[in-house]
Structures are given as C-alpha cells and as structure tokens.
Amino acid sequence: MTRVLLGVTGGIAAYKAAELVRRLRDRDAEVTVVMTAAAQRFVTPLTFEVLSERPVATGLFDVDDPSIEHIRLARWPDVLCVAPATANTLGRFAHGLADDLLSTIWLAARPELPVILAPAMNTVMWENPLVQSNVEVLLGTGRCRVIPPVAKRLACGEEGSGALAEVPQIVDAVLAAAAG
C-alpha cells in the first residue's frame, strides 16, 4: 500500500484536498494529512480524519504525543504531496524556513523522498517573479515535481492561471512518484 503524506495549506483550494484524499484512498493509498493553521481556517481536521481514517497532524508541539512527530512523519511516507501549495509555503520550503509542522517535515524528510507540489493562488501571485524563483529553487533540488495551476475563474473573481490542478492529475502524479 502506498503511503502518502498530504500537506494541506491555507488557500481556498484546501477544500479540494478532501477529494484528493478520497481518490487516493480509492486507489488503495494510505493517507496521513498534515494541516497548517491557515488550512484549518478553510477546512476542519475532522473532514480529513473521516476521509483518511487516520489522525490529522496539525501542530509542531502536540502535548498528547511525546514522540518527535516531525521526524516520525518525515520517515513514514513513500511520497509527500502538498496540495494546495500556497505562495507562502513555496517560499518557506525554498528558503529552508521551519516554523510549523509541515515545513519542519519538509526539511527532515530524506533527500530521495519524492515531492509533488500543486500550487494554487491568485494569478498575479503565481506569476510574481519571487514565487517563480522559489519554484525554480524547489525544482533544482531534484526531488520536486510541480503540477502547475490551471487557468479558470478563480475565487477572487478573476480569470487566469492559479486554480489547483485537477484532482485526478494530482492523484496520478502522486502514485507515479511513489512507484518510482
């Protein structure tokens, strides 16, 4: 069974991560979800606990769990997927910032762990040279595959590239990466 660690970050597309979990489970993947604080403003951990049938990791310092959770979670998966990946998360990953559970897992993960990043954000943000530079840094690690956002009407009401890629495309990329 493929083990997928799914990072859900704080954009409106976070609700689509629920479908991603369901479809991965339909393909016999075991999914553990890590949510940033901002993601929890859009979708509750309970949604992902029900769909994944596993506890959701939400904080770096869990007083109920004496283990070093970021290390345990970094060692567990066959593939790490971040969907949606916000501009903030891409920047933190690209620059080695580790101020929450997901970014700490990113730094603690073994170098050969495949990583699928599915960005979603406003078009102007996606096209910002700083965001594109961060994407290039991440691609330069040799471990990341970026599934670019698609063009459509965005939550802000504008048309353009920035919407999360279609869930089946992300599922296929995740499973292919895990298979090597």
- Measured at the CA of 89, the angle between CA 160 and CA 151, to 5 degrees, comes to 15
Structure tokens at 152: 């459509």
Residues 6 or more apart whose CB falls under 8 angstroms from that of 109 comprise 74, 75, 80, 115
The pLDDT of residue 69 is: 79
Domains plus CATH for the chain? 3-179 (3.40.50.1950)
Summarize pLDDT for 11-48 with one digit per residue, the tens: 999 999 999 999 999 999 999 999 999 999 999 999 99
Cis bond upstream, residue 148 (ω within 30) = no
Choice among 156, 160, 166, 172 that is catalytic: 156
- 156 belongs to the catalytic site: yes
pLDDT value of position 65: 59
Q: Give pLDDT, residue 15.
A: 97
What is the pLDDT at residue 93? 98
pTM, entire model: 0.95
- Measure the CA–CA gap between 43 and 35, rounded to whole angstroms: 9
Query: How, if at all, do strands 79-85 and 3-8 pair?
Result: parallel
pLDDT tens-place string over residues 100-143: 999 999 999 999 999 999 999 999 999 999 999 999 999 999 99
The mean pLDDT value for 64-83 works out to 85
The amino acid occupying position 120 is A
- C-alpha distance across the termini of the chain, in Å: 14
Asked if residue 156 has pLDDT above 80, the reply is no
Q: Is 44 helix (H, G, I), strand (E, B) or coil?
A: coil
Q: How far is CA 29 from CA 16, 25, 175, in A?
A: 17, 5, 8
DSSP 64-122: T--S-HHHHHHHS-SEEEEEEE-HHHHHHHHTT---SHHHHHHHHS-TT--EEEEE---
Residue 168 identity (one-letter amino acid): P
Gap between the Cα atoms of 137 and 34, Å rounded: 23
Strands 159-163 and 150-153, sheet pairing:
antiparallel
The chain-wide mean pLDDT, for the chain, equals 94
